[in-house]
Chains A and B, each alone.
Chain A
Amino acid sequence: MEITKHIIELYKKVATTLPSDVKAALSKAYENKEESTTAINTLSAINKNIELAENESKAICQDTGTPYFFVKYPIALSQLEVKKQIIEATKIASKEIPLRPNSVETLRGKTESDNVGVGIPVFYLEEWEKHDLQIQLILKGGGSENMGRTYSLPDTTLGAGRDIHGVRKCIIDAVFQAQGKACPPGILGIAVGSPKDAVARLAKEQLLRKLDDRNPVRELDRFEKDITAELNTLGIGPAGLGGKTTILGAKIAFMHRHPACYFVEIAYSCWATRRGTLTINEVGEVVYD
């Protein structure tokens, strides 16, 4: 299956156009939430930037991020083939859009020109029973990535035990510590359980969820709304310069854990949360969302 050109198109859409739910949340924040001039001006500039990038097909942010690919492929489609074409598309997209060279060879410090490297792009591939090929892309900025946190509960400094109240304290702590460094108003992907690498992945997967979706677990659906409201009382505000909009939304998932372990993983995504989905069905029809 030839998918390279569709993946290049997906890169283009994701780098230049924010998802409609994120756009809606940012324009709502501008229209009716803020009081200070700085917060209003900041949100106004953010919204202008979004419009400009979309209209002129320009990157929303100069940091075009680390590419994450969440792929669900039908039985009998070669995983190797999908990966190969994604890597090829990454190289072409880097030149064409362009994407900033964001893949640095860590030991020697050399920057690759094509955003490909050891472990880059990040791949999470899974076979599924549907006949569609679904490719979801997140371009994850580095500034907000630096402000993500992993907590191991119990945490005596925070007085956080191994329950949802403890989880709540970790989230409040992470957003407070981040202040303006992660380009608020941001979106949180949160995962609870163990082991560490599994919660890290699950937290990133939460960032794929739309802001207006509902958590299938009733008490977590409630929690997501409550924690978002609480975080917005912190007053950190757009760009961290003070205001009422610090977080646009929080998405949380729990997984099972080892009896000895209890991790809370928080992935912080900046206001420029860039994600998109490409679906190719069995007759080759292509849909972008």
Chain B
Amino acid sequence: MIKLTTPLHKDDINNLKVGDSVLLSGTIFTARDAVHKYLLENPQELPKGIDLTGAVIFHAGPNAKKVNDKWVITAIGPTTSARMSAYEPDFIKRFGVRAIIGKGGMDKNTKESLKNNGAAYFSAIGGAAALLAQSVVQVKNVFFLERFAMTEAMWELEVKDFPVIVTMDRHGKSVHDDVKKKSGKEYERLIGE
């Protein structure tokens, strides 16, 4: 088990390979379709004091509630990352992001971007949201809540030992490609019958 703390550095990422289990601690930012599109079109709108250099972006829309005026995450887990493939290569480059957490993997342009910018893609287990919420220590901030609402807002979360698996590394390897290739062979066999 590898333990990493944000912000992530080039060496942290270089040493990772697909299949590694990682426990992440520090700060992670959620961003889905809306935030990706908005910040790429309006980079000056990145909230003041927020630096995404070395940051971890989490494709997730939490279930949260306010307890005594403080936000508490009741459930959080990854959404399908493929929807963000249209933005991610530029987003990684533009903001210096070092890692993405999501589910299902991303396209070949993102894979190239991970390679060129020294970043990695982590898978968290989709649906295991009560369990993952246990690794969220606190909500540090929430941005664009008015504009995009709870699911699509940008949540700044402090996490401790948040469990992920490296499924796309910066060396061009992808578990998703491997599974697709292998299942593709079996698919051809079944369809051909």
Contacts and interface: CB of A to CB of B under 8 A. Distances in A.
Contacts of B184: 176
B121 to A, nearest CB: 12
B171 to A, nearest CB: 18
Interface string A84-115: 00000000000000111110100000110000
Nearest to B185: A235
B118 interface: no
Nearest to A146: B80
Interface in B23-49: none
25 contacts: A38-B19, A45-B125, A46-B127, A46-B128, A49-B132, A59-B129, A59-B130, A61-B128, A63-B61, A64-B63, A100-B75, A104-B149, A143-B79, A143-B80, A159-B191, A169-B191, A180-B103, A183-B127, A234-B187, A235-B183, A240-B104, A240-B176, A241-B175, A242-B178, A270-B127
A233 B190 contact: yes
Interface in B107-152: 123, 125-134, 148-152
Contacts of A48: 128, 131
Ranked nearest first, the 9 interchain pairs of A and B with the lowest CB-CB distance are A111-B149, A62-B75, A181-B104, A53-B130, A49-B128, A183-B126, A49-B131, A62-B129, A59-B75
B104 A272 contact: no
B62 interface: yes
Which of B75, B130, B152, B187 has the most C-beta atoms of chain A within 10 angstroms of its own C-beta?
A: B130
Contact of B150 (A100, A181, A230, A233): A100
A46 to B, nearest CB: 6
Given A159-B191, A239-B125, A183 B103 contact: yes
Given A38-B19, A63-B61, 18 more contacts: A41-B21, A56-B130, A59-B63, A61-B126, A61-B128, A62-B74, A99-B63, A100-B61, A100-B62, A101-B151, A143-B79, A143-B103, A176-B187, A180-B126, A181-B104, A183-B103, A230-B190, A242-B182
A136 interface: no
Contacts of B61: 62-63, 100
B186 interface: yes
Contacts, number: 157
Interface in B64-87: 65, 74-77, 79-80, 82
Interface residues of A, number: 51
A101 B130 contact: no
Interface residues of B, number: 48
Given A41-B21, A45-B131, A49-B130, A62 B182 contact: no
Interface of A: 38, 41-42, 45-46, 48-49, 52-53, 56, 58-64, 98-102, 104, 110-111, 141, 143, 146, 158-159, 169, 172-173, 176, 179-181, 183, 230, 233-237, 239-242, 270-272
Given A58-B75, A100-B61, A239-B103, A49 B179 contact: no
B127 A60 contact: yes
A172 B126 contact: no
Contacts of A179: 104-105, 176, 179-180, 183
A239 B123 contact: yes
Nearest to B148: A111
B165 interface: yes
Contacts of B60: 62
Contacts of A271: 127
A58 B74 contact: yes
Given A62-B77, A98-B63, A240-B104, A45 B190 contact: no
A237 to B, nearest CB: 7
B103 A49 contact: no
A235 B182 contact: yes
Contact of A239 (B75, B126, B149): B126
